[in-house]
């Protein structure tokens, strides 16, 4: 093993390395990724790296490109914590990447990404529920965010009009959303592109069985220039959210009403606004140092304002 390097990430410790071995009399070098569960936390939720590996492995025979899983386990003699090893996938990102994609490239790759999203939502989820878990209701999603929003340590300026948006969202909760496999954090930084192709969708910590339009609203949020104060955090040439919704309707061959599109876009604003307020609090109180949240904090209260605007339009 050689060339061990630390990789970025927030849900565990990740390392890239090269593994050399003999196969059929030939010397082979493979580039691999090791992800280890974070220290000092309960192995559950985003820290359950073995669940992430099993979810990726469950998609190996689908149209959704994921890194292939080589090994996973929780034997204490190796790292003292659960781990998995996956193939290293080369590629760049539309946002925050090293390669500057042209407008035409971004448009083409955005369409490919939405087609991949539709393919994920078409994957039969019932045979995979042992790995993915039982379906998660939207009301439970809202309740899970309550545990973050209702903390007295959050800064009032960051919370803004979140309680009003929450009230309006609960009053208009979609009653029968389409259920399927949900990535949970499919944005432009969790997709790797190379040579005009989407090579892999990564970071499956938030994957679940739930309302599939959560994913559509989420990627729309990271393309909505009317939301973000710091425009550098979204791709320069990403299609507008309305165009992404239209592409999804075409690729998924499934009805998405304007009201549902607006609700799930507003939910993405609410969800990320709450996550931002919580993580800014942790960062500023020295609980979890991460300067990235200071850049996102510029938009913090605006997430909730934008959510109210979207619900008003619907």
Whether 194 is in a domain gets the answer yes
Given a cut of 90, is residue 43 above it in pLDDT?
Answer: no
Whether 96 is in a domain gets the answer no
3: confidence class by pLDDT, cuts 50, 70, 90: low
- C-alpha 283/C-alpha 50 separation (Å) is 27
CATH number for the domain harbouring residue 9? 3.30.200.20
Given a cut of 60, is residue 9 above it in pLDDT?
Answer: no
Residue 122 confidence (pLDDT): 98
Among 37, 54, 87, the domain boundary falls at 87
Whether 94 is in a domain gets the answer no
Note whether 76 and 112 are same-domain residues.
Answer: no
Joined together, the tokens standing for residue 292 give: 């990235």
CATH number for the domain harbouring residue 166? 3.90.1200.10
Given a cut of 90, is residue 24 above it in pLDDT?
Answer: no
Given a cut of 90, is residue 154 above it in pLDDT?
Answer: yes
Among 61, 87, 113, the domain boundary falls at 87
Residue 44 confidence (pLDDT): 87
2: confidence class by pLDDT, cuts 50, 70, 90: low
Mean pLDDT over 287-299 rounds to 93
Note whether 42 and 108 are same-domain residues.
Answer: no
Note whether 236 and 301 are same-domain residues.
Answer: yes
**Average pLDDT score over the chain:** 92
Identify the three-state secondary structure at position 193. strand
Note whether 73 and 108 are same-domain residues.
Answer: no
Whether 231 is in a domain gets the answer yes
Whether 27 is in a domain gets the answer yes
Predicted structure pTM score: 0.93
Instruction: Provide the domain limits for residue 10.
Output: 2-87
Note whether 60 and 209 are same-domain residues.
Answer: no
pLDDT digits (tens, 9 = 90+) for 66-78: 999 999 999 988 8
Note whether 116 and 80 are same-domain residues.
Answer: no
- C-alpha 55/C-alpha 181 separation (Å) is 10
Most confident of the ranges 17-26, 91-100, 118-127: 118-127
Q: How many CA atoms lie within 13 A of 55 on its CB side?
A: 25
Quote the number of domains for the chain: 2
Residue 173 confidence (pLDDT): 96
pLDDT digits (tens, 9 = 90+) for 230-285: 988 889 888 999 999 999 999 998 899 999 999 999 999 999 999 999 999 999 99
Among 87, 111, 135, the domain boundary falls at 87
Identify the three-state secondary structure at position 35. strand
Which helix (H) or strand (E) segment is 76 a member of?
none
24 contacts: CB under 8 Å, gap ≥ 6: none
């Amino acid at each position: 093993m050689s060339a061990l390097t630390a990789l970025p990430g927030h849900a565990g410790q990740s390392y890239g390395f090269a593994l050399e071995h003999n196969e059929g009399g030939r010397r082979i070098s493979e580039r691999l990724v090791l992800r280890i569960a974070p220290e000092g936390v309960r192995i559950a939720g985003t820290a359950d790296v073995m669940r992430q590996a099993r979810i990726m492995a469950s998609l190996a025979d689908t149209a959704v490109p994921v890194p292939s899983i080589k090994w996973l386990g929780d034997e204490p003699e190796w790292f003292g914590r659960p781990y998995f090893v996956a193939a290293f996938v080369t590629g760049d990102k539309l946002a925050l990447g090293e390669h500057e994609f042209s407008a035409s490239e971004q448009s083409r790759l955005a369409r490919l990404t939405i087609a991949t999203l539709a393919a994920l939502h078409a994957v039969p989820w019932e045979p995979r529920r042992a790995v993915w878990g039982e379906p998660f209701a939207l009301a439970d999603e809202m309740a899970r965010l309550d545990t973050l929003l209702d903390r007295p340590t959050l800064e009032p300026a960051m919370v803004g009009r979140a309680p009003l948006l929450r009230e309006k969202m609960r009053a208009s909760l979609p009653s029968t959303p389409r259920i399927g496999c949900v990535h949970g954090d499919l944005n432009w930084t969790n997709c790797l592109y190379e040579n005009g192709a989407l090579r892999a969708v990564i970071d499956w910590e938030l994957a679940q069985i739930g309302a599939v339009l959560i994913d559509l609203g989420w990627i729309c949020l990271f393309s909505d220039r009317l939301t973000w104060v710091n425009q550098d955090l979204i791709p320069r040439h990403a299609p507008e959210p309305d165009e992404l919704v239209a592409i999804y309707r075409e690729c998924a061959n499934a009805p998405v009403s304007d009201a549902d599109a607006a609700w799930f876009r507003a939910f993405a604003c609410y969800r990320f606004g709450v996550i931002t307020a919580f993580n800014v609090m942790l960062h500023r109180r020295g609980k979890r140092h991460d300067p990235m949240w200071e850049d996102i904090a510029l938009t913090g209260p605006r997430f909730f304002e934008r959510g109210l605007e979207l619900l008003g339009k619907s």
